[in-house]
Amino acid sequence: MGHSRIRGAEQKNWYLLICNHQSWADIVILCVLFRRHIPMNKYFLKQQLAWIPFLGLACWALGMPFMKRYSRGYLLRHPERRGKDIDTTRRSCLKFRNHPTTIVNFVEGSRFSPEKGRQTRSPFKNLLPPKAAGIAMALSVLGDQFNKLLNVTLCYPENIQSPFYDMLTGKMTRITIRISLLPVTEDLHGDYLNDKNFKRRFQLWLNALWDDKDKQLEELYQQNKKP
């Protein structure tokens, strides 16, 4: 990855990067892959990570936005908190308007596992259902400043069980990364919270991307199966 070349990517642009999430290794891979090609990645991180020694402080110093996500059950008990996580996204994005930035969002909201797939009743075999609100708000706030949307698919075909541990211990054998640069068209800008028609169209668009990503992952896993 030290000699990676990504056509069409530049340091002076704004990017929204979406990616499937399988492991803590994902963050390391994305940082190494895109360094020197695009502005430094800014990850939307779970609020709990802020309290991890050294890691939380480092992320805060680098301007990473921390998100406090609420479960469906919590929101039913505390309806006054509905929309607060989206408001945090909006405020975080406003900070990035003055300097070229790459906003990274693992739109599944959590690392994939078969168990989580069953719990969320995911329609995908290798992915959790994508959560559209965060990236819809980022597109709404930054609007035309985004030059491209980077759609990244990460796969560890031979290390699917423990990619982060295998990477740390030198047992990582292969990483497959597929990247597509998509235009940020006007139909991706809208009021996700209040416009039901736009919300439906946006979710369909994102689900279509995830369906294609799921097929790519399945193809890669099938290719790696030993006869």
Structure tokens, 194 = 């209040």
- How far is the CA of 100 from the CAs of 10, 59, 61, 123, 205, in angstroms? 10, 18, 18, 35, 26
**Which pLDDT score, from 0 to 100, does residue 211 have?**
97
Q: Confirm if 86 and 64 have CB atoms less than 8 A apart.
A: no
Structure tokens, 151 = 């759609």
Closest-CA residue to 135 (of 174, 190, 196, 58): 190
**Which pLDDT score, from 0 to 100, does residue 6 have?**
60
Q: Where are the domains of the chain?
A: 14-224
**Which pLDDT score, from 0 to 100, does residue 31 have?**
85
Alpha-carbon dihedral sign for residues 116, 119, 120, 124 = positive
Closest-CA residue to 127 (of 52, 20, 207): 20
Q: What CA–CA distance (Å, rounded) separates 127 from 22?
A: 9
What residue type is 176 in one-letter code?
A: T
pLDDT per residue, tens digit, the chain (227 aa), is 444 556 656 667 889 999 999 998 998 898 888 888 888 777 766 555 444 445 444 555 455 555 555 555 655 665 655 655 666 666 766 777 778 888 888 899 889 999 999 999 999 999 999 998 888 888 887 777 888 899 999 999 999 889 989 998 999 999 999 999 999 998 998 888 889 999 999 999 999 999 999 999 999 999 887 65
- 14-224 is classed in which CATH architecture? 3-Layer(aba) Sandwich (3.40)
For the sheet with 176-182, list strands across it.
Answer: 41-43, 102-105, 14-19, 146-155, 176-182
